[in-house]
Amino acid sequence: MKRRLIIDCDPGADDAVLILMALAVPQTFDVLGITTVAGNAPIEWTNKNALKLVELAKRTDVKVFGGCRRPMLRKPIYAAYAHGETGIDGSSMPEPKTSLQSRHAVDFIIETLLHSSQKVTLSVSGPMTNIALALIKEPGIAEHIEEIIFMGGSTNGGNITPAAEFNFYVDPHAAHVVVSSGLPMKMIGLNVTHQLVTSEHRLEILQRMGNEVGRQVAGMLAHGVEHDRVRFGLEGRSVHDACIAAYMLRPELFTFKKMRVLVDHAGEATMGASITNEYPAHINDQWLSVADSIQADQVFDLIIDLMRTYKD
């Protein structure tokens, strides 16, 4: 049976790879819709980027729903320093011909979950604003969620502050609502995603694979290489969000630990920090399945294989 999937995202080059991976395998994923949120770039750009990506994939059957343009309580924070002003600098996709759907992302999520005959997986690769507000507006959706698989948090420090990962930092209050909801979820944080990085060889394969998808992905991933090398000491650019799709397709490439996770939404120096603990006394009944390791070479091979399936 296909996994029913809503992709909630803030594209973002790494979100773009996640979307293209999921859309490449319609035999595996029934993508019910893509919902956008402000994060890597303002909502106007993340909306446009999502539309460009479904057109690039020739999957305009998958509709895009615009979501929240700011966090629940904080002022917006963007990541132009890593993704460029557009969120996908380095790509050259044309302006989209399709348009956003009229429904707001939060309403789409609620209505889709309530009327689904099968439980739905939520892939969450940006700030969790849409998901938190959907749970607040209609708590009854919880029983229709198979699991939430999200890229966010970390067990070993942050990438926007020493304590906090970007998605949690942008909207820590939303992350707190979702992470403390008690729903089944898997957290894939920086401790794992910083292992999935580009190299000159991998970018060359994408660039030369002979299709437009490969060329566009190579361009947008090449854009952030220097940032990740200088700031984090990585070999290339991290492709954080692709880990969500990779996990759903090849779960054996990851290991997870049962951990208690708290999101700091009140501190100053630690705002957005994910506080993790695996001692049994602290886990009790509030726990998450937290990614602990990744077979990164095989995951990147999977990315390349899926990008190669696209034909011009």
pLDDT tens digit string along 292-302?
A: 999 999 999 99
Assign 280 to helix, strand or coil.
helix
Q: What is the pTM for the complete model shown?
A: 0.97
Structure-token pair, residue 139: 């708590």
- What local confidence, expressed as pLDDT, does residue 295 receive? 98
Query: Can you tell me the distance from the alpha carbon of 74 to that of 220, in angstroms, rounded to the nearest whole number?
Result: 29
Q: Which residues are the active-site residues?
A: 240
Q: Predicted confidence band at 281 (pLDDT cuts at 50, 70, 90)?
A: confident
Q: What is the DSSP letter of 239?
A: -
Sheet holding 120-124, edge to edge: 64-65, 29-36, 3-9, 120-124, 145-151, 185-188, 288-294, 254-263, 274-277
For β-strands 288-294 and 274-277, DSSP reports them as unpaired
Whether the predicted pLDDT of 148 surpasses 70: yes
Taking only the tens place, the pLDDT of each residue in 183-214 is: 999 999 999 999 999 999 999 999 999 999 99
Helix axes 296-308, 242-249, angle to 10 degrees: 90
Mean pLDDT of the 107-128 span: 98
Is residue 285 predicted with pLDDT exceeding 70?
A: no
Please say if the pLDDT value at position 232 is more than 70.
yes
Q: Where are the domains of the chain?
A: 3-308
- Do 211 and 310 form a contact (C-beta atoms < 8 A)? yes
6-63 pLDDT per residue, tens: 999 999 999 999 999 999 999 999 999 999 999 999 999 999 999 999 999 999 999 9
Average pLDDT of every residue of the chain? 96
User: Per the structure block, which two tokens stand in for 278?
Assistant: 């695996």
Instruction: Write the CATH number of the domain with boundaries 3-308.
Output: 3.90.245.10
